[in-house]
Chains A and B, each alone.
Chain A
Amino acid sequence: DAGVTQSPTHLIKTRGQHVTLRCSPISGHKSVSWYQQVLGQGPQFIFQYYEKEERGRGNFPDRFSARQFPNYSSELNVNALLLGDSALYLCASSLEGYTGELFFGEGSRLTVL
């Protein structure tokens, strides 16, 4: 079985631009979470989605948004990019978000210039 897949793997943007990151969960997993990992730090929770509904949101500004599709894949959108948004964005999936193990993807490395 394929694990959590994310795209793109690397991307470079300039300040003020917009970015969309994509995630496909493990087959059968209905919950997707997004984490931001700044270099040298632990991952920080951004969102959790379950059955296309936002279940939880971390301490991130409204420039960050996400959605989940009927096939349980997800997109993370970041508007008006700042230099500080440069990070590895990790997607994780689990069966339903409360129980079971979190499985992480390899991440999307975003560089904002």
Chain B
Amino acid sequence: GENVEQHPSTLSVQEGDSAVIKCTYSDSASNYFPWYKQELGKRPQLIIDIRSNVGEKKDQRIAVTLNKTAKHFSLHITETQPEDSAVYFCAASLYSGGGADGLTFGKGTHLIIQP
């Protein structure tokens, strides 16, 4: 089955700086790579996703890059703000809805924005 590794486990950056979180996956058949943000005591919420036929996707301050050959993808947050503080999870799947095998998640990165 799929295995997703995520680094770092904790990331502390100054407000206004950029943050980068990296993930690797094992199953070359995986086709869908979402990123979820989970605030303390809240539900995971999709913030951006990318499919295997795209190398990069951007939405305002957030971007995701995918390297299918190397089987890794990254989340980039620019001009970080206090409200960006949360736990971020990457995931991989064959299907965006999860399908029969579901989404496989990384262990998460606790992003701390220092004022």
Contact = CB atoms under 8 A, between A and B. Distances in A.
A complexed with B: yes
Interface of A: 4, 31, 33, 35, 40-46, 48, 55-56, 58-59, 90, 92, 94-107
17 contacts: A31-B97, A35-B102, A42-B106, A42-B108, A43-B89, A48-B99, A55-B100, A56-B101, A56-B102, A95-B97, A97-B97, A97-B98, A98-B98, A100-B96, A101-B46, A102-B97, A104-B44
Contacts of B91: 42
A102 B103 contact: yes
What is the size category of the interface that chain B forms with chain A? 20 to 34
A103 B36 CA distance: 10
B17 to A, nearest CB: 25
A107 B43 contact: yes
Contacts of B36: 104
Nearest to B91: A42
Contact of B97 (A40, A43, A46, A100): A100
A43 B98 contact: no
